[in-house]
């Protein structure tokens, strides 16, 4: 199927070159980023030659098979891992260590079981040495927004997986980060809960226009949420294509049933089939 012709894509190398005159100012730039891990069996080249311009306020998904370096890429951006090649820039300035205003959400929520939901959300204030009391109203407001009113004083083990992930998102949003890094945040949830959270996240993004980098291996989820989808392959982890998702917002779940949406799915499936990652059928 020649779906590619109708789509706006950027080759990885061109993605860097396009940095000279991007449609919106480059917020985060990755130039030739590489990451090698040392291991007992020798070095593992988890990322090689990653070139990408992340635009301020965009919703960008990173899509690829297991082991292609999605988590590594997110950790390098979040300053949790050092890069071993290339450079990272935030608004044009070299970035080393965590970006100053970033929030992170992981696949496995890292809520502390002995703390209440509210105290788990407020932990961000403690990390940043801010006064808990100052941030409590915002924490309660976020919990309400994510449907967790009435659960503030419960403990994580009393919550469903979806509720725990909602609490993790509240925690990441507490200090109003300008960059939200999410590593397969809904990967462990059932399909219906995942749909709910996709909708909530789309709504939050629409209201706040934070820059979001969202790692997933769900094709449909990536298309539904994103302005652009970065597709990766493995050995070594690298970008193979950047696809613009030109679908109207706000997006409703029914969008996934439309031919336009289907064309994006087909395009991505075709690309991954060509790489031997998916079977075409």
Query: Which residues contact ligand ADP by CB under 6 A?
Result: 37, 39, 44, 46, 64, 66-72, 237
Closest distance between ligand ADP and the C-beta of residue 40, in Å?
A: 9
For 151-176, give one letter per residue: b (16+ CB within 10 A) or e.
Answer: bbeebbeebeebbbbbbbbbbbbbbe
Choose between 75 and 166: whose C-beta lies nearer to Mg ion: 75
Closest distance between ligand ADP and the C-beta of residue 54, in Å?
A: 18
The neighbouring-strand residues paired with 239 are: 232
Choose between 120 and 226: whose C-beta lies nearer to ligand ADP: 226
Phi-psi region of 21 (alpha: psi -120 to 50; beta: other; left: phi over 0): beta
Residue 29 touching Mg ion (CB under 5 A): no
Q: What is the DSSP letter of 3?
A: G
Residue 46: name its binding partner from Mg ion, ligand ADP, none (Cβ under 5 to 8 Å by kind).
ligand ADP
Give start and end residues of each alpha helix (H) in the chain.
Answer: 12-17, 70-77, 117-121, 123-127, 132-145, 161-173, 191-208, 219-225, 259-274
Closest distance between Mg ion and the C-beta of residue 161, in Å?
A: 18
* Residues 42-71 contacting Mg ion, CB under 5 A: 71
Choose between 71 and 211: whose C-beta lies nearer to Mg ion: 71
Which backbone phi and psi does 255 adopt, to 5 degrees? -55, -30
Taking the CA atoms of residue 123, residue 83, residue 217 and residue 187 in that order, the dihedral angle to the nearest 10 degrees is -20
Closest distance between Mg ion and the C-beta of residue 184, in Å?
A: 6
Q: Cβ(206)–Cβ(213) under 8 Å?
A: no
Choose between 78 and 156: whose C-beta lies nearer to ligand ADP: 78
Closest distance between Mg ion and the C-beta of residue 70, in Å?
A: 5
Choose between 74 and 202: whose C-beta lies nearer to ligand ADP: 74
* Residues 157-196 contacting Mg ion, CB under 5 A: none
Report the relative pairing of strands 59-63 and 228-233 from DSSP bridges: parallel
Q: What is the spatial distance between Cα 167 and Cα 120, in angstroms, rounded to a whole number?
A: 8
Choose between 68 and 201: whose C-beta lies nearer to ligand ADP: 68
Closest distance between ligand ADP and the C-beta of residue 183, in Å?
A: 7
Binding site for Mg ion (CB under 5 A): 71
């Amino acid at each position: 199927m020649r779906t590619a012709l109708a789509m706006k894509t950027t080759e990885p190398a061109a993605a860097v070159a396009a940095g000279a005159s991007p449609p919106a100012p480059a917020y985060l730039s990755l130039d030739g980023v590489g990451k090698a891990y040392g291991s007992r069996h020798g070095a593992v080249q988890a990322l090689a030659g990653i070139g990408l311009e992340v635009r301020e306020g965009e919703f960008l998904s990173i899509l690829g098979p297991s082991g292609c370096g999605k988590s590594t890429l997110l950790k390098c951006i979040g300053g949790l891992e050092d890069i071993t090649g290339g450079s990272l820039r935030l608004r044009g300035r070299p970035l080393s260590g965590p970006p100053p205003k970033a929030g992170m959400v992981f696949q496995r929520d890292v809520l502390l079981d002995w703390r209440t939901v509210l105290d788990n959300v407020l932990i961000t204030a403690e990390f940043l040495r801010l006064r808990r009391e100052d941030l409590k109203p915002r924490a309660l407001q976020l919990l309400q927004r994510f449907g967790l009113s009435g659960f503030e004083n419960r403990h994580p083990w009393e919550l469903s997986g979806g509720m725990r992930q909602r609490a993790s998102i509240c925690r990441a949003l507490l200090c109003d980060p300008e960059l939200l890094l999410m590593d397969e945040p809904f990967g462990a949830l059932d399909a219906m809960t995942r749909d709910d959270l996709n909708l909530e996240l789309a709504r939050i993004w629409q209201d706040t226009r934070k820059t979001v980098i969202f790692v997933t291996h769900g094709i449909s989820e990536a298309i539904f949420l994103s302005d652009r989808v970065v597709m990766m392959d493995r050995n070594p982890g690298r970008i193979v294509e950047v696809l613009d998702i030109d679908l109207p917002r706000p997006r409703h779940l029914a969008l996934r049933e439309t031919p336009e949406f289907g064309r994006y799915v087909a395009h991505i499936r075709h690309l991954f089939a060509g790489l031997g990652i998916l079977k075409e059928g």
